[in-house]
Structure 1
Amino acid sequence: MSKKPTPAKRRVYGGIDAGQRVQERRERLLEAALELFATQGYQNTPIEQLCAAAKVTTRHFYEAFAGREALLLALYERIIREAQAVVREALQRPGLDLATRIPQVMGAFIETYVSDRRRAQVGVLEVVGVSPAVEKRRREVIREFAQVLEGYADSLVAQGLLPQRNYHPVSLALVGGINELLAEWLMSGDPSSLQQLHQAISDVMQALLLGGAAMAQHEKKVKKK
C-alpha cells in the first residue's frame, strides 16, 4: 500500500512561521496606513509608500490585502469595532444615573476614538468619497452606532425612564450630528478644543435622554389624573 502523503511543514525562520510573518506584516501595514492616511490623506498615499513605511515588499502587501482600499476598510473596521465596544461597555456600566452616565459614555468614546486624532481622521473624513463599497460600509457604521443608542433607549423605556417611542430615527439623527461635530473639530485645526467637543456631544445626548425622561414623568402624571 502506498503511504499517505504527510502534510507539508510550515517553514519557520527565527521561531516565526509563515502565518505569523504574514500577520506581523499586516499589523505593520495597518500602522503605516493609520499614520499616512491620517497625515497626508488616503488619496495621496500610494501602495509603494505604505510598503516603504511598513518595511514590506509589494508582494508581501498583496499577501495581506487585496489592495489599498481593502487596507483602508480593515483599518476603519478596527477603529470602529474598538469604539463600539467601549461605548457598549460604558452604557451597560451599572449604578449610574442618566446625568452621570452620559458624560462617562462620551468620555470613553473620545478616549478611544478621538484622543488619537489619526483614528478620528480616518474614521470620519478619509473614508468619505472613496468608492461605493466604502461609502456603503460608512453608512452601515452610522446605522450600527444608532442601533447601539436605540437599544439603550429601549432599555430605558423598559425601566419606565423614557416614554414608549420609535427611537431609531432620533438615534440616527444623533449619530449623524455627532459625526458632523467630529468632522468640524477635525477640520478646524484646533486640537485644544477637545474638551469643548466632549461637552457639545454630551449636551446633545443629555438633551435627548434627559428630555425624554422628563416626558416620561409628565406622561405618568397625566395618566394619574
Structure 2
Amino acid sequence: MQVTQRRSLSAVDERRESRRQSLLDAALELFATRGYLASPIEDLCRAAHVSTKSFYGIYESREQCYLDLMRRTTEHLLETMTAAVVAEGFDDVAAAERRLLTTFARLMGGDPRVATVLFGRGTATTFAVEAERRANRRRTADLIALIWSLSQVTQEQADGIATGVVGGLFDIVADWVAGSDELEVLDPAVLERRLIAFYQAVTAGIRIGKENLS
C-alpha cells in the first residue's frame, strides 16, 4: 500500500508541475503581449487550460505567478551566460567579456517576450518584484565582476562598477522593448549593437582609469 501511495503522490506532483509550467508559459505570452495589468488570472487559466481552482492550488496571487516566471526566466539566462563564459575560458578576458555580452544580447533579442516580461510592459511593479529584480542585478554583476577582477580592476572596484553597468544594460533592453508594441518587429541586431557600444565605452573608461592610477 505504501508503494501505491508513493506512486500516487508522485503522479499528483507531476500533474501539479505540469499545470505550473503551463501557467508560466501562458503568463510569458500574455504578460508580454497584453501587459501584466491587462492579464487577469482567469485569462491566464484559460490560456493554460488550467482551472482557477488549480491556479490557487499553486499560487496565492498573480504576483506570485509573475515572480515564479521571473525566477524561471532568470535562472535560464544566468545558467546560459555562465556556461558561455566558462566555455570561452578566462585566458583572454576581452573574449570572455564579449562572449558574456553577446550571449545576453542574443537571449534578449531572440525572444523579445522575455525582455518585455523582465524589463518592459509585461513587468509587475511591487515591492517583492523590485527586491527580486535587485537580487538578479547583483547576481549578474557578480559574473561581470569576476571577469573584471582577473585583470582590469580590483575586486572592490569591480563590485561597485559592475552593479552600475548591469543597470545600464538592463535600461538599454527596456528602451529597446519600449520602441514598439509589436514584438515581432523589434530588431535583435539593434539591441546587440547598443549593448556592445555601451559596454565598450564603459570598459574603455575602466582601462583609462587604471592606467592613470598605475
The question of 1:127 aligning with 2:127 is answered no
Shift of 1:109: 1.3
Q: Which residue is equivalent to 1:137?
A: 132
Shift of 1:119: 0.8
Matched length: 207
Q: Which residue is equivalent to 2:170?
A: 179
Distance 1:178 1:163 in 2: 20
Q: Which runs of no fewer than 5 residues in structure 1 stay unpaired?
A: 221-225
Residue among 58, 71, 83 paired with 2:77: 83
SS of equivalent residue, structure 1 residue 166 = helix
Aligned residues of 2:148 and 2:158 also touching (Cα < 8 A): yes
Deviation sequence 1:201-222 (CA, Å, 0-9, x none):
12222333355346556766xx
Deviation sequence 1:21-79 (CA, Å, 0-9, x none):
11111111011000001110111111111111111111111122222111100000011
My pick for the range that moved more, 17-26 or 188-197, is 188-197
Residue among 192, 203, 208 paired with 1:209: 203
Residue 9 of structure 1 aligns to which amino acid in structure 2? Q
Q: Which residue is equivalent to 2:179?
A: 188
Q: Which runs of no fewer than 5 residues in structure 2 stay unpaired?
A: none
Judged with a 3 Å threshold, the aligned counterparts in structure 2 of structure 1 residues 192 and 22 are, in CA distance, closer, same or farther, namely: closer
Distance 1:178 1:27 in 2: 29
Distance 2:170 2:147 in 1: 19
Residue among 50, 56, 61 paired with 2:50: 56
Residue correspondence of structure 1 range 33-44 to structure 2 within 5 A:
33-44=27-38
The question of 1:94 aligning with 2:89 is answered yes
Shift of 1:89: 2.1
Judged with a 3 Å threshold, the aligned counterparts in structure 2 of structure 1 residues 137 and 192 are, in CA distance, closer, same or farther, namely: closer
Deviation sequence 1:78-115 (CA, Å, 0-9, x none):
11111111222222322763443333222211233331
Shift of 1:193: 3.2
Judged with a 3 Å threshold, the aligned counterparts in structure 2 of structure 1 residues 180 and 95 are, in CA distance, closer, same or farther, namely: closer
Distance 2:134 2:107 in 1: 21
SS of equivalent residue, structure 1 residue 167 = helix
Structure ranking higher on relative contact order (CA contacts 8 Å, 6+ apart): 2
TM-score using structure 2 length: 0.84
Q: RMSD between aligned alpha carbons?
A: 2.5
Distance 1:31 1:55 in 2: 11
Q: Which residue is equivalent to 2:152?
A: 162
Aligned residues of 2:109 and 2:191 also touching (Cα < 8 A): no
- Percent identity over the alignment? 28
Residue 37 of structure 1 aligns to which amino acid in structure 2? F
The question of 1:46 aligning with 2:30 is answered no
Runs of 4 or more, structure 1, over 4 Å off, are 5-8, 213-220
Q: Higher Cα Rg: structure 1 or 2?
A: 1
Residue among 145, 151, 155 paired with 1:150: 145
My pick for the range that moved more, 110-119 or 88-97, is 88-97
